[in-house]
Chain A
Amino acid sequence: MDIEITTVESIARVRLKGRLDTPGVDQVEGKFTSSVVTGGKNTVVDLSQVSFIASMGLRMFIGIAKALKRQNARMVLFAPQSQVNEVFNTVLLHQILPIVADEAEAVRFAAG
């Protein structure tokens, strides 16, 4: 599992690649959390290269989004693949986190 984080115009852009199962989350959660939560940055997360997610991945997203919300920042997920989108739909994740189609929309939503 790989993670790449850049900050452009005060928005953190996180690109994840691989499988967000328990071992995958273990590999990226520390860097993800320390990079975006510490600064309380609005954050967009590119899921286009995430082929699989299990509940530990959901736990990571919800935990980070809650920590950002306490600092009046928000996290937006974008471009989920089919298995990831199916899991999001099963747990009704869209009711608690914004999930959009592409990066431009995610940036607009995060900045807004």
Chain B
Amino acid sequence: MSLEKAATRVTLRIPSSLAGLKQGSEERSRWLSQWNLGEETGNRAHLVFDEIVTNIIRYAFGDGHEHGIEVAFHLADDSLTLSFDDDGRPFDPRTAPEPVNTGSLAKAAIGGRGLLLVRKAAKRLNYERSIAGRNRLSVELARS
């Protein structure tokens, strides 16, 4: 597909499950493959998508029900923005504490490094809690 014909913005709605994550990842990959963005930008988009959707699935809800997650990708001249919209508990990733660097395996936490990776990959993060009670996070990546 040519640069002129491909849509510069797509929106997906996926269920909050591993199957939903896989489905969204495949659609993201298919859409990105239409653009010649390079491996580094593709990897950063994959990383941000995997970390944020995984976090939403694992931590945003507590009711045992499947929820919908809306994910949008927007390509501009110098950036690629991934936006996430969910109705889970309020959570601003910009304020999450950095993982403590213990320097030893015995004291190291098993998890808690995903948001550090997102912050390092991102050019900009924006978060708002909507009046309707939804988390809206956007992660802007530089195009390499």
A residues touching B (Cβ–Cβ < 8 Å)? 19, 21-23, 26, 52, 54-56, 58-59, 62-63, 65-66, 69, 83, 87, 90-92, 95-97
* Given A22-B50, A55-B117, A96 and B111 contact (CB-CB distance below 8 Å): no
Chain A residues in 8 Å Cβ range of B124: none
**A91 to B61 Cα, complex, angstroms:** 27
A65 touches B105 (CB 8 A): yes
Contacts of B114 in A (CB 8 A): 54-56
Secondary structure call for the B interface: helix
A52 touches B43 (CB 8 A): yes
The answer for the CA separation of A52 and B55 in the assembled complex, in Å, is: 18
Interface of A is mostly: helix
- A49 CB to nearest chain B CB (Å): 16
| Chain B residues, Cβ within 8 Å of A19 | 46
- Whether the pair B101, A56 counts as a contact (CB closer than 8 A) is no
Q: In angstroms, how far is the closest chain A Cβ from the Cβ of B101?
A: 6
Mask of B89-111 contacts with A, CB within 8 angstroms, 1/0: 00000000001011111101111
Task: Tell me which residues from 13 to 49 in chain B have a Cβ below 8 Å from any Cβ of chain A.
Answer: 18, 21-22, 25, 39, 43, 46-47
How far does the alpha carbon of A25 sit from the alpha carbon of B21 in the complex, in Å? Answer: 13
Contacts of A22 in B (CB 8 A): 18, 21, 50, 53-54
Shortest beta-carbon distance from B115 to chain A in Å: 8
Given contacts A59-B111, A96-B105, contact A54 B18 (CB under 8 A): no
Assembly CA distance A103 to B32 (angstroms): 35
User: Taking beta carbons and an 8 Å cutoff, which residues of B are in contact with A?
Assistant: 18, 21-22, 25, 39, 43, 46-47, 50-51, 53-54, 99, 101-106, 108-111, 113-114, 116-117, 120
Q: Across the interface, which residues of B come within 8 angstroms of A96, CB to CB?
A: 102-105, 108
Asked if residues B106 and A69 are in contact (CB atoms below 8 Å), the reply is: yes
Q: Are A21 and B101 in contact (CB under 8 A)?
A: no
B111 nearest CB across to chain A (Å): 5
Q: Are A62 and B110 in contact (CB under 8 A)?
A: yes
**Cβ B120 vs Cβ A21 within 8 A:** no
Given A22-B53, A23-B25, A55-B51, 7 more pairs with CB closer than 8 A = A23-B18, A52-B46, A56-B54, A58-B111, A59-B111, A62-B111, A96-B102
